[in-house]
Every structure is written in structure tokens, then in C-alpha cells.
Structure 1
């Protein structure tokens, strides 16, 4: 292995770790009903589509929706998020498939979000274009 290859692998490993941390922060802020913490994860030019198809274009629309919905959200159980797959589209752009599971006494239900994340000049990864999709049982 050359030093150049080792540096690329080390850099990619660091990016994968940072991306996984953003997904963990989505889980943490959702559970805590923390709109400001959640919104800190978004790029200023982001867009978001909810699991039920509501399209939110731009940070302001996402913020308005999040501040109205998240603090009063109710669910019977807890939700977990985990990275299922990361595909680097460019070194600074990643498509991240997430497994989202709502655990409740009535049984688990799933979501299958896709987060397109971008790496900022300071090294942070932010949510840029996201689509949440409900997984329906057959």
C-alpha cells in the first residue's frame, strides 16, 4: 500500500465516521425534540421531503416546519437511525441510505431516508437534499 492510498483510505474512514455522527445527531435531536440542534445539521440551501411527501425547499421552510412540529411530536416508543450504506458521489458529496426504525408496543415500523450530504470547507458534513420514505409492509 502506498502512502497516497493510505491517506485516501484514512480520509474516507474519517468522512464515514463524521457522516455516521450526523446520522446519530439526527436521532439524538429527534428524540430530544430539539429543533435548533436538528436544524444545525442542515446546509443553508437544503431541501427536505417528509415521509408523507411534504416538500420543504430551503432552510427557512425546513426551520418553520421543524419548529412547528418537532417540539410537540408524540410517539409511543423510540426511534433509532443507522447508516445502512454510504456512496461517495464525489469526495465532498455522499448519498447516505439510513435505516430508521420506530419501536413501539404495537410493533416496529420503518423509514428509509436518503440523505445527500455535502462536506463543507471546514470539514463538517451537512444534510443537503433529503427524502424520508415510509416503508410499508406487504
Structure 2
């Protein structure tokens, strides 16, 4: 856990670590093009809006769309996901802001659109999972 994450609320370092593991699990699944592992990061009835504005409802729909996208327009896309902020909404429910940086397949940053994502990550019987989220593509910062 890095100190540059803004944490708002009174949840434990263990909760912070668990929530970060969900984000890093999603990052790994995206970068290895594993739609099953990606889907496992979501709750069964999650709601997800991707960077193209497509809303997907449910883990199965998210995994199915991701499988097609990872074989298609995302096949050569890789990213690093950095947690920027965690906000406790209620016990066991954390809103998480994530910055996405495009990388090559080895994890080195490259030029290209970046992403900003808001996840609502909730504790479930089987652990922490994304219950809702929205991804938005943003232009890279100006060279300076």
C-alpha cells in the first residue's frame, strides 16, 4: 500500500489491501487477456459501464463482452491500474478511484489514451468484488 492513496473513512489496512487486490486482480486479468479471471473480480449481479459507454449487467455478461473485446479491439492493449482514492461508503462498501496508464505487454508506460475508473467494491460472502463501476477514457496529459 502506498501513502499516495487518499483514504477517506475508518476501514482497516486489511480492508485497504483486500480492495487493492481486487483492482490488481482486474489489472492482471486484463493484461493476460483472461476474461474468466476478469469476471471473477465482479459480483454476480454487478453493473459495469465500459469506456465506450456500454453498460453490462452481471458477471457473465461482463466476462462474455471482455472475451470478445480481448480477442478484438483490446488484443494489443495493456495497462497499469493505480488506486488513487478509497472512500468508505458504508461498512464493507468502498468507492475506489483508479488511474489507468497504457503500457506495453511488459508493463512499460506508452503513449495513448488513459483511463479513469470508479469502482464500488463490496464485501461479499466469498470476499471483495466490484459491485458497480464506470470506466472513462481520457486524453494523455500534455507533454511538459
Alignment of 1:128 onto 2:131 = yes
- 1:78-125, Cα deviation, whole Å (9 max, x unpaired): 310010000010111110000101136862431000000110134x11
Between Structure 1 and Structure 2, the one with more helix by share is 1
Count of residues paired in the alignment: 128
Q: With the length of structure 1 as denominator, give the TM-score of the two structures.
A: 0.82
Q: Is the 8 A contact 1:103 1:109 kept in 2?
A: no
Structure of higher CA gyration radius: 1
> In 1, distance between residues paired with 2:83 and 2:112?
18
Q: With the length of structure 2 as denominator, give the TM-score of the two structures.
A: 0.79
Unpaired runs of 5+ in structure 2? Answer: 1-9
- Aligned-residue Cα RMSD (Å) equals 2.2
> In 2, distance between residues paired with 1:40 and 1:52?
21
Unpaired runs of 5+ in structure 1? Answer: 1-8
